[in-house]
Amino acid sequence: MLKIGDVELKNNVLLAPMAGVTDKAFRKIVQEQGAGLTFTEMVSSKALHFNDKKTEKLMDITEEKRPIAIQIFGSEPEIMGEIAKKISSKCDIIDINMGCPAPKVVKNGDGSKLLLNPKLACKIVEETVKNATVPVMVKMRSGWDENHIIADKLAKEIESAGASAITIHGRTREQYYGGKVNLEIIRAVKNAVSIPVIR
Ligand SMILES: Cc1cc2nc3c(=O)[nH]c(=O)nc-3n(C[C@H](O)[C@H](O)[C@H](O)COP(=O)(O)O)c2cc1C
């Protein structure tokens, strides 16, 4: 069975994190149906840093079936570390978003923009892992665009930085949510690391 760090899942059926979709009500239904792991919507580390109440509400997982992962995004290693420390007691796993293609996210260097900056991406993983007391996993895309398919190389570096699992969305940022999924890169990521790879 799938094991993410020390968290053993009861099955391999995972709810994909979806902003605007996987809220508390949605998660509860999926949990009732027996999912092995559910995820919150993505949560801004910077907004949490500034104690934004609306953002904090996205992480309300009280009275839900566990395990649950909170997905955070951001591009400042220190803030990601600070938030990892703060939320570790609330959840079972922390998931770092390196896949969001939305312009308002990438313009700040967050989400899929990190695929163009592997050094920073790894620093973020290192700081998050260092400060978290739960396993840390990373969600990424195949790359920024067709000319930057880097997921296999980055996955290896992210594993070395301490991540316990990787989820790969086999599309580039340029593809958003359409077009063909690159199954080759999913295979390459799987072959590149020894931690669990989820797709
Ligand atoms: C409406 C919507 C919102 C999404 N939001 C997130 C998100 O917040 N975090 C994330 O990691 N992925 C997000 N995703 C990506 C999905 O988790 C998933 O990786 C992607 O849809 C690929 O799976 P598919 O080929 O089955 O669609 C979102 C996808 C959709 C359709």
Beta carbons of 12 and 5 less than 8 angstroms apart: no
Here the CATH number for the domain that contains residue 53 is 3.20.20.70
Domain tally, the chain:
1
The residues, ordered by sequence, that sit 6+ positions from 17 with a Cβ below 8 Å of its Cβ are: 39, 40, 41, 42, 69, 71, 95, 97, 139
pLDDT at 174: 98
**What are 73's strand-pairing partners?**
44
Vertex 171, ends 2 and 72: CA angle to 5°?
Answer: 60
State whether the beta carbon of 97 lies less than 6 angstroms from ligand 1: yes
Q: Ligand 1 centre and the CA of 17: distance in Å?
A: 6
- CA distances to 55, 83, 92, 142, 156 from 51, in Å: 8, 11, 22, 33, 34
Supply the pLDDT for residue 1. Answer: 87
Cα–Cα distance measured from residue 68 to residue 93, given in angstroms and rounded to the nearest whole number:
7
The residues assigned a catalytic role are 100
Say which amino acid occupies 75. Answer: S
Domain hosting residue 56, numbered range: 3-198
Residue 148 is predicted with a pLDDT of: 96
Closest by Cα among 112, 126, 118, 42 to 77: 126
Is the C-beta atom of 182 inside 6 A of ligand 1?
no
pLDDT in tens, the chain (199 residues): 899 999 999 999 999 999 999 999 999 999 999 999 999 999 999 999 999 999 999 999 999 999 999 999 999 999 999 999 999 999 999 999 999 999 999 999 999 999 999 999 999 999 999 999 999 999 999 999 999 999 999 999 999 999 999 999 999 999 999 999 999 999 999 999 999 999 9
- Looking at residue 26, its pLDDT comes to 98
Q: What is the predicted pLDDT for the residue at 183?
A: 98
The pair phi, psi for residue 3, each rounded to 5°, is: -125, 120
- Check pocket membership of 101 for ligand 1, CB cut-off 6 A: no
Which residue has a Cα nearest atom 2 of ligand 1?
18
